[in-house]
Amino acid sequence: MKQVLTANDFASGAVVYWSKKGWKKNLADADVFDDQGKADDVLAFSETCPDEVIGAYLIAVEGQSGQWRPTHIREVIRAQGPSIKETYTKGGSRHVSL
């Protein structure tokens, strides 16, 4: 099974994915692991970065290089961003459209 390490950016809350070049916002840029031991090592390493990310965990992906997609619907939704968009009124107050 192929896996990717995902987490939330500590400062912004954005969904991020691990690559050798650091945390990336695009799943296509993520490192994909097919070795469970290596994936577990990177997960353990992520726990040493509490000022960078929170809630790191491994997700299953399918596809091919540069075109990975999560296998679980929850992760598909996370990868696409918030499902509720905030809007702002002319007076500057925030509300969520229902």
46-64 as b/e: b if 16+ CB within 10 A:
beeeeeebeebebbebeee
d(CA 54, CA 60): 19
The count of domains in the chain is: 1
Q: What is the reported pTM? A: 0.78
Written as tens digits, the pLDDT of the chain (98 aa) is: 899 999 999 998 899 999 999 999 999 999 999 999 999 999 998 888 778 999 999 999 998 877 889 999 989 888 887 666 655 555 555 555 55
Range of the domain at 67: 2-96
Confirm if 27 and 63 have CB atoms less than 8 A apart.
no
Tokens of 93: 């107050």
Residue 87 in contact with residue 97, Cβ under 8 Å?
Answer: yes
